[in-house]
Amino acid sequence: MRHPSNIAELVRLKPDYIGFIFYPKSKRFIGEQIPEEIQTLIPVYIRKVGVFVDEPFDGLLEKFKKNQLDMVQLHGSELPDYCERLKKMDIPVIKVFSITPDFNFGVVQPFDNYCDYYLFDTAGELPGGSGIKFDWEKLDQYTGNKPFFLSGGIRPTDTETFKGVLHNKLHAVDLNSGFETAPGVKDIPKLKTFFEEVRTV
């Protein structure tokens, strides 16, 4: 997200997290630094998540501190030792895994000790933003203990389907292109309706 007025509206809905994209190839790229006028809009109870794709470690640390982030989301090919280094610095980590029909959840196991959450997204040609939903029944194969975010092509019409995802490690839902009027601009009325319906579950 990049627009102060849009973020101010979103904050009133009290999401648990707001993500800022630090990947230059993304249409939602925030730049090197979150503007101060945006920083001041976000209360402490909403966690600021920096989204990175194969960012050099020192570069990530610099952006984490400079932007007063609360967590990082790793959307590239980062290895467990990268996550371990962040863990040692008390930086909470969300590691993203791209789900394909033949995805083996065993690949997440080496990350268990170093990540706070996983995020399961739809595999695409580029990191994130495909707008396509993977088969959520695939989640039945996840038997790990780490809580996860669900992402990938979620739309306002998916409320009832989402309520049917009863996995006991489902922590949060990541809402992106299906709730935007343009890249990085949230559709507030759609989000408000979705929040109201899902938070009653």
Higher local confidence (pLDDT), 27 or 130: 27
Asked whether residue 129 carries a pLDDT value surpassing 60, the answer given is: no
Q: Per-domain residue ranges for the chain?
A: 4-198
Q: First vs last Cα of the chain: how many Å apart?
A: 27
What pLDDT sits at residue 196? 86
Predicted TM-score (pTM) above 0.95? no
* Cα–Cα distance measured from residue 48 to residue 19, given in angstroms and rounded to the nearest whole number: 6
Confidence at residue 57, expressed as pLDDT on a 0 to 100 scale: 97
| Residue 143 tokens, joined | 């038997």
Rg (CA), the chain: 16
Amino acid at 107: V
The CATH number of domain 4-198, selected from 3.55.10.10, 3.60.20.10, 3.20.20.70, 3.40.50.720: 3.20.20.70
pLDDT band at 163 (very low <50, low <70, confident <90, very high): low
Report the pLDDT averaged over residues 66-72.
Answer: 97
- Residue among 77, 76, 147, 142 at smallest CA distance from 115: 147
- Report the share of the chain in percent with pLDDT over 70: 92
Q: Is 158 or 25 the better-scoring residue by pLDDT?
A: 25
Cβ–Cβ under 8 Å, residues 48 and 20: yes
Q: At residue 49, does pLDDT exceed 70?
A: yes
CB atoms within 10 A of CB 60: 22
Residue 93: pLDDT above 80?
yes
* Per-residue confidence (pLDDT) for residue 197, from 0 to 100: 82
